[in-house]
Amino acid sequence: MRMLPDGSRAFFNRCGQWCVRLEELFLCLLLTAMIGLACVQILLRALCNSGLMWADPLLRHMVLWAGLFGAAAATGHGKHISIDVASFLLPQKVQPWLRVAINLFAAVVCGFLTHAAILFVTEEAAYGGRALLGIPSWVLNLAFPIAFALICVRFLIRAVTGAIAIATDSRPCPPEKQ
pLDDT of residue 7: 65
pLDDT of residue 178: 45
Q: Kindly state whether residue 166 falls inside one of the protein's structural domains.
A: yes
Full 3-state SS string of 98-116: HHHHHHHHHHHHHHHHHHH
Between 167 and 56, the higher pLDDT residue = 56
pLDDT of residue 1: 43
**What is the count of structural domains for the chain?**
1
Q: Kindly state whether residue 1 falls inside one of the protein's structural domains.
A: no
Print the domain residue range for 172.
6-177
At 72-131, the pLDDT tens digits run: 999 988 888 777 777 778 888 888 898 999 999 999 999 999 999 999 999 999 997 888
Q: Kindly state whether residue 129 falls inside one of the protein's structural domains.
A: yes
Q: Kindly state whether residue 124 falls inside one of the protein's structural domains.
A: yes
pTM confidence score = 0.82
Helix axes 143-167, 55-76, angle to 10 degrees: 10
Q: Kindly state whether residue 168 falls inside one of the protein's structural domains.
A: yes
